[in-house]
Amino acid sequence: MKVMAILGLWLCLKGGMMIYPPHDNLAGTYKTEEEGVTIVVTKTATGFVGVDPQKRIVLKDVKFLEGCWRGTVYNPQKDITARCEVYVEGNKLKIVAYKGLLSKTVYWVKI
């Protein structure tokens, strides 16, 4: 009986972690590691959005779906838009961009 109670509690907690994002506030000011560009991420009605100093949207519609943060990232230097997954790692955002079969990981450090 004790085992069943523990198992039930574990399933409830595990299920709750899947429904709610582990970190639900990505908002803040970040600096890209490669170029050193400052990106301001804010929460909007459609998800999180990141804007660079030239007022270009470089991260958009980031929402917690299927167990992780997903959205779209834009690289203005190369004029490439790609789908992405965003992970919070301490004071950094790890952004994994996917374009076709290729992927690239970049880090933005919170300042």
79-111 pLDDT, tens per residue?
Answer: 999 999 999 999 999 999 999 999 999 999 999
Q: How crowded is residue 62: how many other Cβ atoms within 10 Å of its Cβ?
A: 25
Strand segments, DSSP code E, in 8-56 are: 28-32, 38-44, 47-51
What is the Cα–Cα distance from 18 to 56, expressed in whole angstroms? 32
pTM assigned to the model:
0.77
**Residue 9 confidence (pLDDT) above 80:** no
Q: Which residues of 9-29 are buried (b: 16+ CB within 10 A; e: fewer)?
A: eeeeeeeeeeeebeeeebebe
Q: What are phi and psi of 75, to 5 degrees?
A: -105, 105
The sign of the torsion formed by the CA atoms of 87, 85, 111, 35 equals positive
